[in-house]
Structure 1
């Protein structure tokens, strides 16, 4: 008899973006390990990105339960639809560029909706799920955040029913970059910290996606804290892929204002001025939401003729862009608090078998993954010379049709292998 596990989540198809992929893939493979996943999701969510193609990836045998959710973002759109969607998707401009409306919305978001704007789903969800859990004889509940308000659902279900509860953190809580932008009062900072501490101390097991977050959380709780990274699905691309004729450097995913790699734009601008053949061949390809500040900088560095901005592209088409690009660009904010962020797209990049140009903070966890898979090490934001040398190396190899990557196994990051790790955690508590 398969073991029933209830998974409480917010991002579920037709939600687009990276937040949906982790649990969509876990749900796909869990039945192969003797686990029957039951998904609990909002009925009328306010997703910043939609991707209807992901509906086709939901296994038909999976039970999905949906209940209504009230979200203040819907009301906020009456005042400013564009600003609301921008903030809810995580694109926050530097403070000096924020309008009075943006500053007010960030203050309200941070101080009136603790831990986040989905907090109103907690009470009705607990009420509904208590009866459902008893009826279905469910012994284990998993909550995944952000939004971290969903962990309060798990907390209250554990307190009410004594069920086993696993809290999955796709991102940290109080140390995530955008948390610092919410203009929190000292009192409300303390509320966030207290809720985080309670969740970490009362969950039976905590799962995180990076080594730094595991270390951070382990210092805050005596509960087991386990790292299960994100990963890739499907087969690794073969060598016989038709590559772009241009020297394309592609960034896939959101490019936020604080992630803006000005040193890279400077390097690319200088290379275009110094090498006529580079300027003719080079094409920067941006796929996903990009902040206005990034686009302004590309113009300022005279790269307008050398970039294309495609906006959000359906997940089902992303692989075509990845595998045909000459180089894939991975960027993280240059900050100590982003050392533990391992973007999900890193593993999709690995699957594509293309060189990865990674730029991030010192001691970035991504470095361990790149080393394990024998890829080029990441570079620091201030490393102008290193970036210039690396890009020129890639370009010269491109010219001689030798721009390939080392053949190293990435099987440890396949979604099925990662699901086997999750299944081991679930069976261990049986």
Structure 2
């Protein structure tokens, strides 16, 4: 008899972006390990990004239950339409350039909607799920955040029913980079910390996506913590012809804080020094890009080399990954982002294209790239090394020898990662 597991999530197809991928893939493969996933999601969510193609990956055999949700982004959009949309996508203007409207929205979001804008879904969800869990003989609940209000649903169910509860943190809670931008009062900060502490102390098992987050949480709780990273899935996308230009492609949202002057300066200098580089170089930006990034590119004289594609479907993103000459991975230069391992990293790794990554020292990304031989990682102070590496990639491109040879990638496949999860659910809970 299959074990039933209830998964409480906010992001689910037709939502697009990285937040939906992790549990979409776990749900896809859990039945292969004798576990029946039941997915609970909002009926009428306000998703900032849509990708209808992901709905095709949801098995018709999976039980999906839904309840209505009331979200402030809908009414806020009547007053501040553009700013509401960008903030809900995670695009926050630099502190010195924020408008009065954006400052107001961030203050309201941070101090009146704790832990997040989906808090009003907690109580009705708990009431609905209490009877559903009993009626369907479910003994294990998994919550995945952000939004971290999903964990408050798990906390309430754990306290009221005899269920085991797994709290999955795709990102940290109080130490995530954008948390500092929410203009929190002292009261709000204390409330976030109190909620986080309750979740970490009362969940039966905690899942995280990085070793850095595991070390952070180990200082806050004695509950068992397991690292299960994101990963890659087998796709039906045929391998396209490589670009004939020297394309350096960033795939995914490019936020204001993720703006590496060191890279733009290196590219500007190479363009000025090398006529052959000028003739072949293109910078592809695939996904939402903040205005500040575009202004910085213009400042460095790079605008004429930029192809801005906007958001594309996941399938189209995979095509860009496979045909680009170099794949660009950028993270904010902050200790808070050491724990961030973008989901796209793993798809980058199996694209057989070299990865050029820039981020803070001590990042988990750096160790994964080194372990798998799939790219090179630089911090924000290593200008000469970065410039030298770009030129090395360019010379290999001209010689038609630009390629990577990954090592040990299989353990990052979605099916292998789901087996880790299934083993935990079967034996430890």
Name the counterpart of 1:275: 274
Name the counterpart of 1:7: 7
Name the counterpart of 1:29: 29
Q: 1:350 to 1:407 in 2, by over 3 A?
A: closer
1:125-184 deviation per Cα after TM superposition (whole angstroms, max 9, x unaligned): 000000000000000000000000010000000101021000000000000000000010
What is the deviation of 1:375?
2.8
Distance 2:298 2:411 in 1: 41
Name the counterpart of 1:101: 101
What is the deviation of 1:235?
5.8
Name the counterpart of 2:284: 285
TM-score by length of 1: 0.98
3-state secondary structure, aligned to 1:30? helix
Name the counterpart of 2:354: 355
Distance 1:128 1:332 in 2: 39
Contact 2:237–2:318 (Cα < 8 Å) also in 1 = no
Contact 1:237–1:353 (Cα < 8 Å) also in 2 = no
Distance 1:236 1:328 in 2: 20
What is the deviation of 1:429?
3.5
3-state secondary structure, aligned to 1:259? coil
Name the counterpart of 1:381: 380
Contact 1:237–1:352 (Cα < 8 Å) also in 2 = no
Contact 1:253–1:287 (Cα < 8 Å) also in 2 = yes
Q: 1:237 to 1:39 in 2, by over 3 A?
A: closer
Name the counterpart of 1:249: 248
Distance 1:376 1:94 in 2: 30
Q: 1:256 to 1:385 in 2, by over 3 A?
A: same
3-state secondary structure, aligned to 2:279? helix
3-state secondary structure, aligned to 2:175? coil
TM-score by length of 2: 0.98
Distance 2:420 2:18 in 1: 21
What is the deviation of 1:86?
0.6
Contact 1:237–1:351 (Cα < 8 Å) also in 2 = no
Distance 2:93 2:391 in 1: 32
What is the deviation of 1:60?
1.0
Contact 2:145–2:151 (Cα < 8 Å) also in 1 = yes
Name the counterpart of 2:313: 314
Worse-superposed segment, 32-41 or 364-373? 364-373
Distance 2:370 2:391 in 1: 22
1:249-276 deviation per Cα after TM superposition (whole angstroms, max 9, x unaligned): 0000011111111111111111111111
Distance 2:252 2:82 in 1: 19
Q: What are the within-5 Å matches in structure 2 for residues 125-274 of structure 1? A: 125-234=125-234, 241-274=240-273
What is the deviation of 1:31?
0.2
The runs of at least 4 consecutive aligned structure 1 residues that moved more than 3 Å come to 235-238
Name the counterpart of 2:418: 419
Distance 1:9 1:81 in 2: 26
RMSD over aligned Cα, in angstroms? Answer: 1.2
What is the deviation of 1:237?
9.0
Worse-superposed segment, 291-300 or 406-415? 406-415
Distance 1:42 1:286 in 2: 31
3-state secondary structure, aligned to 2:375? coil
1:99-149 deviation per Cα after TM superposition (whole angstroms, max 9, x unaligned): 011001000000000000100000000000000000000000000000000
What is the deviation of 1:216?
0.4
1:321-371 deviation per Cα after TM superposition (whole angstroms, max 9, x unaligned): 100000000000001111111111100100111000000001011112112
Distance 1:401 1:408 in 2: 22
Distance 1:399 1:377 in 2: 19
Distance 2:240 2:320 in 1: 11
Name the counterpart of 1:79: 79
3-state secondary structure, aligned to 2:253? coil
3-state secondary structure, aligned to 1:423? helix
Contact 1:235–1:351 (Cα < 8 Å) also in 2 = no
What is the deviation of 1:408?
1.8
Name the counterpart of 1:305: 304
The count of corresponding residues between Structure 1 and Structure 2 is 429
Contact 2:252–2:288 (Cα < 8 Å) also in 1 = yes
3-state secondary structure, aligned to 1:412? helix
Name the counterpart of 1:328: 327
1:48-81 deviation per Cα after TM superposition (whole angstroms, max 9, x unaligned): 0001111101011000001000001100000111
Contact 2:249–2:286 (Cα < 8 Å) also in 1 = yes
Distance 1:237 1:267 in 2: 33
